[in-house]
A = this chain, B = another copy of it.
Amino acid sequence: MDDILELHHRTIFYSIERGIKEYRKFAQKRLNSVLTDITIDQALVLLYVIKQPQLSQSEIGSLTFKDNASVTRMIELLIKNNYLSRYINQEDRRTYNILPTHKGKVAVKKIMEITELNRKRVLKNITNKELEQTKRLLNKLIVNCNETDHGQHI
């Protein structure tokens, strides 16, 4: 059991963390080559807000793995940086209608283009079969994480 650490860098968790971090760094750099004042997280929220305006903030949060607080603050920043504007929704005054500015519309196009390029480039020489295998493993892992305990530890 004392080799927990020697093993750590060979675990699947290490590989997954490393993979996602490298991808995020890559994607942020590439995004900054066309837009300088936006993060990749904000960019994804921006796409959802504009392309699927029927979604509530909390639904966007679920789709992007962010909690409500984060979505609120990211939208604030997008408004501050002039990508979006926002008005209270008169049908349900708890929610908002969020609209893109001109800058926001232009940005969306650039984001979609660069995202498509990024995906192609990062998935170069990876087959669909490999992608499916990995998704299956990740799904098993997710299921195992969420299984209720039968006994022993909580």
Contact = CB atoms under 8 A, between A and B. Distances in A.
Interface string A109-145: 0001111110101111110001101111111111011
Contact of A12 (B13, B25, B131): B131
A15 B135 contact: yes
A5 B133 contact: no
B137 A16 contact: no
Interface in A12-55: 12-13, 15-23, 25-26, 29-30, 33, 44, 47-48, 51-52
A154 interface: yes
Contact of A138 (B15, B141, B145): B15
Contact of A134 (B21, B121, B133): B133
Contacts of A13: 20, 23, 119
A116 B153 contact: no
B63 A9 contact: yes
B141 A19 contact: yes
A25 B65 CA distance: 12
Interface of A: 1-2, 4-5, 8-9, 11-13, 15-23, 25-26, 29-30, 33, 44, 47-48, 51-52, 63, 65, 112-117, 119, 121-126, 130-131, 133-142, 144-146, 153-154
